[in-house]
Chain A
Amino acid sequence: MIADPNQTPAGTATGTVDLTLDAEVAAAEVPAGLVAQSLGQYFRASWLRVRGGDSGVLPVVLGLVVVAVGFQIANSKFLSAQNLVNLFEQSTVYMLLAIAEIFALLLGEIDLSVGLVMGLGSVVVAELVQPSGANWPWWAAIIVTLLACAAFGAIQGTLVARLKMPSFIVTLGGLLILEGVAIIVLGGSLVGIGNSGFTNEVYLYNIFWGTFNPVVGWILLAVVVGAAGTVFWLEDARKRRRGLQAAPRSLTVMKIALMAVAGIAVVAICNVNRAHAGTIEGVPFIIPIVLVVLVASTALLQRTRFGRYVYAIGGNPEAARRAGVRLAAIRIRSFVLAGLISGIAGVLFASWQVSLTTNIIKSANSYVLLAVAAAVIGGTSLFGGRGKTIHGVLGGLVIGGIYNGLYLMGVSSQWIDVVVAGVLLAAASIDVLSRRGAPGKA
Chain B
Amino acid sequence: MTADQGETPAATAGAGTADPALDANVAADVPPEILAQSLGQYLRVSWLRIRGGNSGILPVLLAIVIVAVVFEIITPEHAYLRPSNLVYIFGLSTVYMVLAIAETVVLLLAEVDLSVGAVALIGGVIAFKLVQRPGPDWPWWAAVLAALAICGGIGALQGALTALLRIPSFVVTLAGFLLFSGILIVILGGADSTVSLNTSVPNQNIIYDMVQGLIAPALGWIILAVVVVATGASMWLRTTERRRRGLTAPPLSLVAIRIALIAIVGAAVVIICSVNRGSSLKSVTGIPWVIPIVLIVLGAWTLVLQRTRYGRYIYAIGGNPEAARRAGVSLRAIRIWAFALCSATAALGGILLGSFFYGQYSSNTADPGQLVLYTVAAAVIGGVSLFGGRGKAVHGVLGGLLIGGIAYGVSLLSLGSLSTPLQYILPGGVLLIAVLIDVVSRRGAGSATGV
Contact = CB atoms under 8 A, between A and B. Distances in A.
Contacts of B418: 184
User: Chain B contact residues: over half helix, strand or loop, or mixed?
Assistant: helix
A414 B368 CA distance: 13
Contact of A188 (B185, B376, B417, B422): B417
A182 B185 CA distance: 27
A267 B166 CA distance: 44
A173 B428 contact: yes
Interface stretch (B68-76, B170-178, B202-210, B351-359): B170-178
Interface in A45-98: none
Given A414-B185, A428-B167, A176 B428 contact: yes
B1 interface: yes
A170 interface: yes
Interface string B423-447: 1110111011001100110010000
Contact of B191 (A414, A416, A418): A414
Interface stretch (A3-11, A222-230, A247-255, A364-372): A364-372
Interface stretch (A124-132, A157-165, A274-282): A157-165
A358 B420 contact: yes
B165 interface: yes
Contacts of B428: 172-177, 179-180
B373 interface: yes
Contact of B182 (A159, A181, A373, A421): A421
Given A174-B428, A181-B425, A183-B421, A382 B182 contact: no
A376 B435 CA distance: 27
B161 interface: yes
Contact of B435 (A169, A187, A417): A169
A382 B439 CA distance: 23
Contact of A421 (B176, B185, B440): B176
B339 to A, nearest CB: 15
Interface centre among B168, B171, B183 (most CB of A within 10 A): B171
Contact of A432 (B167, B376, B387, B429): B167
B386 A168 contact: yes
Contacts of B181: 414, 417
Contact of A184 (B3, B421, B431): B421
For chain B, which range describes its interface: under 10, 10 to 19, 20 to 34, or 35 or more residues?
Answer: 35 or more
B177 A369 contact: yes
Interface in B327-378: 367, 369-370, 373, 376-377
A369 B178 contact: yes
B3 to A, nearest CB: 8
Contacts of A159: 432, 436
Interface in B224-256: none
B439 A164 contact: yes
Contact of B161 (A177, A179, A418, A425): A425
B179 interface: yes
B367 A362 contact: yes
Contacts of B161: 425, 429
A310 interface: no
Nearest to A112: B373
B369 A366 contact: yes
Given A159-B432, A159-B436, 19 more contacts: A110-B170, A163-B436, A166-B387, A168-B170, A169-B432, A169-B435, A172-B377, A173-B429, A173-B435, A176-B424, A187-B417, A365-B370, A373-B178, A382-B168, A413-B191, A416-B182, A417-B181, A418-B178, A425-B161
Interface of A: 110, 159, 163-166, 168-170, 172-177, 179-184, 187-188, 358, 362, 365-366, 369, 372-373, 376, 382-383, 412-418, 420-422, 424-425, 428-429, 431-433
24 contacts: A165-B435, A166-B1, A168-B170, A169-B431, A172-B373, A172-B377, A172-B431, A173-B428, A176-B373, A176-B425, A176-B427, A177-B424, A177-B425, A181-B425, A365-B370, A366-B369, A413-B191, A414-B186, A416-B182, A417-B179, A417-B182, A418-B183, A425-B172, A428-B175
- Closest 4 CB pairs between A and B? A176-B428, A180-B421, A180-B425, A417-B182
